[in-house]
């Protein structure tokens, strides 16, 4: 009588992936800072909506109690914490990613970080030159997500400044040419003014504590479909605007600025004005929320799986039979 055939049973491997949470960590003392709003609270909200379909939890916090998470260290937290705070977070299994935005980094702390976020192309190049062994990823600075596309009025030339008034260059001397508006977390004070202007002034005071400035005012102007008047040496201005842009200043001297404002007023609606609008339209695309999210996803993707658990390795009945023989 023939023996029954020997069969094998294979139990396939099952893989369980545990995903890290993402936390934007700030400090309570910096709640009113613009960077806390834009690179902290609003960025966390945007990223949370992006990752929600994948089941990844994203939050904003002012309490450094995270474990096994990807922690985005905001400018506020970095400037108000010490090395012990960072080491404690590291010991709790966190991936630490530093986002100094426009403030100079602390070289003594860089070794603690797993990666650096650069908010401008100049900062990206500087980080990679200074810390070639450290991962640096450029993440375009977010435009306030509560401001959608703002079509400007087209009846008459009108130029405005939107930002911290203490940073505006020649504010008093330009009162007859530029209207100045303080921006902040309360949109009701200035958001309603945006559609009334069709040109943005963005010449700022230089401060000794300034690092690499992101092109945030340029991104805002682009979202408002308006040309910008800015100095070429300011951060990434020349990178985004290019050599053909007609309202790029070579200096921040008052006479040069007044001359440029008058030139823009004369050009209003004409061929050079249309060229500026076309360039700003390209900048709006390059600084969209979609671009910001794609860059952020590139940053965190390799840190996302916390661990892999394997169970039920393959077994063959034949091996069992041979061992029992």
User: What is the Cα–Cα distance from 245 to 207, expressed in whole angstroms?
Assistant: 26
Residue 56 has pLDDT above 70, yes or no: yes
Q: Using one digit for the tens of pLDDT, what is the confidence trace for 277-317?
A: 999 999 999 999 999 999 999 999 989 876 443 333 333 33
What pLDDT sits at residue 184?
Answer: 67
Percent residues over pLDDT 90 in the chain: 75
CATH code assigned at 237: 3.40.50.2000
Are residues 63 and 27 located together in one domain of the fold? yes
CATH of the domain at 104: 3.40.50
Say if residue 292 is in the same domain as residue 280: no
- Between CA 134 and CA 149 the distance in angstroms is 37
pLDDT score of 212 more than 60: yes
- Number of domains composing the chain: 2
Q: Looking at per-residue confidence, does 4 or 86 come out higher?
A: 86
Under the banding of pLDDT at 50, 70 and 90, the label for residue 18 is: low
Mean pLDDT computed over every residue of the chain: 88
Alpha carbon 193 to chain centroid, angstroms: 25
Same domain? For 29 and 76 the reply is yes
Q: Is 120 in the same domain as 227?
A: no
Q: Is 2 inside any structural domain?
A: no
Instruction: Tell me the three state secondary structure of residue 276.
Output: helix
Q: What is the pLDDT of residues 238-270, one digit of tens each?
A: 999 999 999 999 999 999 999 999 999 999 999
Residue 22, pLDDT above cutoff 80 = yes
292 domain-assigned: yes
Range of the domain at 96: 14-142+288-308
Whether residue 108 is found in the same domain as residue 170: no
Distance separating the N- and C-terminal Cα atoms of the chain: 20
- Residue 151 counted as domain residue: no
Model pTM score: 0.86
Tell me the pLDDT tens digit for each residue of 111-153.
999 999 999 999 999 999 999 999 999 999 999 988 888 888 8
User: 44: part of which helix (H) or strand (E)?
Assistant: helix 42-51
CA dist., res. 307 & res. 298, Å (int)? 19
Residue 14's pLDDT is what?
45
Amino acid 74: pLDDT: 98
Give residue for tokens 């029992």: 324
**92: in domain:** yes
Contacts 24+ apart (CB under 8 A), 3-12: 6/317, 6/318, 6/321, 7/317, 8/316, 8/317, 8/318, 9/315, 9/316, 9/317, 10/314, 10/315, 10/316, 11/312, 11/313, 11/314, 11/315, 12/312, 12/314
Residue 129 covered by a domain:
yes
5 Cβ neighbours under 8 A, 6+ residues apart: none
Residue 312 to residue 289: CA distance in whole angstroms: 43
Is residue 64 predicted with pLDDT exceeding 80? yes
pLDDT value for 187:
60
The two structure tokens encoding residue 210: 């300034």
Residue 11, φ and ψ in degrees, nearest 5: -100, 115
Over residues 219-236, mean pLDDT: 96
Task: Produce one character per residue of 23-50: b if its CB has 16 or more CB atoms within 10 Å, e if not.
Answer: bbbbbeebeebbbbbbbbbbbbbbbbeb
165 and 103 co-located in one domain: no
How far is it, in rounded angstroms, from Cα 229 to Cα 249? 7
1: in domain = no
How far is Cα 263 from Cα 248, in angstroms, rounded to an integer? 11
Take residue 136 and report the two structure tokens written for it: 């640096």
């Amino acid at each position: 009588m023939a023996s029954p055939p020997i069969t094998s049973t294979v139990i396939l491997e099952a893989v369980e992936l545990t995903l890290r949470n993402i936390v934007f960590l700030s400090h309570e003392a910096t709640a009113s800072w613009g960077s806390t709003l834009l690179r902290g609270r609003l960025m966390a909200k945007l990223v949370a909506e992006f990752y929600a379909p994948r089941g990844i939890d994203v939050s904003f916090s002012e309490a450094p109690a995270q474990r096994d998470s990807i922690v985005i260290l905001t400018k506020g937290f970095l400037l108000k914490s010490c090395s012990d705070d960072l080491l404690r977070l590291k010991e709790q299994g966190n991936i630490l990613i530093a986002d100094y935005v426009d403030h100079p980094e602390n070289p003594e702390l860089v070794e603690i970080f797993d990666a650096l976020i650069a908010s401008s192309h100049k900062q990206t190049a500087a980080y990679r030159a200074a810390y070639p062994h450290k991962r640096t990823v450029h993440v375009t600075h977010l435009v306030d997500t509560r401001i959608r596309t703002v079509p400007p009025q087209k009846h008459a030339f009108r130029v405005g400044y939107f930002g911290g008034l203490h940073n505006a260059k020649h504010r008093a001397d330009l009162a007859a040419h530029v209207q100045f508006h303080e921006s902040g977390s309360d949109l009701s004070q200035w958001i309603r003014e945006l559609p009334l202007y069709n040109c943005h002034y963005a010449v700022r005071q230089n401060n000794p504590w300034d690092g690499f400035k992101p092109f945030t005012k340029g991104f805002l102007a682009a979202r408002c479909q308006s040309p910008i008047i800015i100095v070429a040496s300011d951060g990434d201005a020349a990178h985004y605007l290019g050599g053909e842009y007609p309202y790029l200043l070579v200096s921040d001297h008052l006479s040069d600025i007044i001359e440029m404002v008058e030139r823009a007023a004369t050009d209003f609606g004409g061929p050079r004005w249309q060229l500026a609008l076309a360039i700003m339209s390209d900048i709006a695309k390059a600084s969209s929320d979609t671009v910001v999210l794609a860059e952020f996803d590139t940053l965190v993707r390799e840190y996302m799986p916390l661990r892999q658990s394997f169970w039920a390795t393959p077994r063959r009945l034949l091996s069992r039979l041979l061992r029992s023989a």
